[in-house]
Amino acid sequence: MNGGPPRVLVIANQKGGVGKTTTAINLGTALAAVGQSTLVVDLDPQGNASTGLGVERAHRKVTSYDVLMGDASFAQAIMPTRIPNLSLVPSTVDLSGAELELIGFTERNYRLKEAFAAFVAGAPGRFAYVLIDCPPSLSLLTVNAMAAADAVVVPLQCEFFALEGLSQLLRTVERVRANLNPALEIQGIVLTMFDKRNRLSDQVAADVRKHMGDKVFKTVIPRNVRISEAPSHGLPALVYDLRCPGSQAYIKLAGEMIQRERLGSAA
Ligand code: ADP
Ligand code: MG
């Protein structure tokens, strides 16, 4: 991975509140902590990844919106965070207008891909991983992310309709693969907010594993109040409370992901 282009992972699920942003922030922090230079791209107008990484609105000078509109280069939008090895392309609420404005461009699905490709051409080894945090929809923003990415990571909350939501997402990935990005893979499914006292959680997890096999990460992220407290301090959970079960799970997930990536590239 050293010196080569980064591995670009989209964190997507059309449902809100399933742990996309939490996964982008904490997986990003865990990867950075083991020396993998990582970039989080905030592609959600809510800007939760930016806030959770401690970047206040006033400091978001150049954003993912400017990049999509062609008003700034990708490189110009990259800023450091207070976490060593972890950078951010921030977003603001401006991005909520992007859906409509993008329709005016002929290559509307490839805006992010093209901006990103220009950056990688100039600095191929700058990052090992790029994690794109998506809004809770399968809109043009998510499609732009999927068109630019190598693989999709799906955070899935173990609740009643989880599998239905998952099949809708998988159909979108199929469509993107057929029309925009034939190389797009499903990198993995992360079970989030797992509650071991809840029998439904267990049952849904077993169902997801039955349908998706080893696409589902062995590491499960438990429901843990420390994880939900961290963003209001502008800190990843890993920095807010390294020892809590949620942080430990994200560290394990990063290890499993790196191993999976190595096996993948060896194949
Ligand atoms: P999404 O980006 O998919 O909308 P978030 O990552 O923002 O979801 O998570 C939704 C809410 O749940 C947030 O308040 C977040 O802090 C909280 N949360 C996420 N993961 C966990 C967890 N493992 N344990 C407890 N709370 C969590
Ligand atoms: Mg989010």
Nearest CA owner, ligand 1 atom 17: 228
Radius of gyration of the chain (CA): 17
| Cα 240 off chain centre by | 20
pLDDT of 150-181, one tens digit each? 999 999 998 888 889 999 999 999 999 999 99
Structural domains in the chain?
Answer: 7-266 (3.40.50.300)
Nearest CA owner, ligand 1 atom 24: 223
| Cα 193 off chain centre by | 16
Question: Residue 86 pLDDT > 90, yes or no?
Answer: yes
Question: Residue 184 pLDDT > 50, yes or no?
Answer: yes
Q: Which ligand is nearest to the CA of 155?
A: 1
Over residues 182-209, the mean pLDDT reads: 94
DSSP symbol at 19: S
Does residue 135's CB lie within 6 angstroms of at least one atom of ligand 1? no
Nearest CA owner, ligand 1 atom 5: 19
Question: Residue 19 pLDDT > 70, yes or no?
Answer: yes
Position 267 scores a pLDDT of 46
For the chain, give the longest Cα–Cα distance: 51
Contact 65, 50 (CB under 8 A): no
pLDDT of 31-83, one tens digit each? 999 999 999 999 999 999 999 999 999 999 999 999 999 999 999 999 999 99
Residue among 13, 20, 22 to mutate when testing ligand 1 (max atoms within 8 A of CB): 22
Does residue 245's CB lie within 6 angstroms of at least one atom of ligand 1? no
Question: Residue 3 pLDDT > 80, yes or no?
Answer: no
Q: CB-based contacts of 178: which residues, under 8 Å, 6+ apart?
A: none
Question: Residue 254 pLDDT > 90, yes or no?
Answer: yes
Give distance in angstroms: CA of 195 to centre of ligand 1.
13
Q: Which ligand is nearest to the CA of 18?
A: 1
Question: Cα–Cα distance between 132 and 118 in angstroms, integer?
Answer: 17
Q: Please, which pLDDT band fits residue 2 given cuts at 50, 70 and 90?
A: low
Residue 173 phi, psi (nearest 5)? -60, -45
Does residue 52's CB lie within 6 angstroms of at least one atom of ligand 1? no
Starting at the edge strand that comes first in sequence, how are the strands of the sheet with 79-80 ordered?
A: 79-80, 86-89, 38-42, 129-133, 7-11, 151-157, 185-192
Position 1 scores a pLDDT of 46
Ranges 13-17, 144-148, 199-203, 220-224: which has the least confidence:
199-203
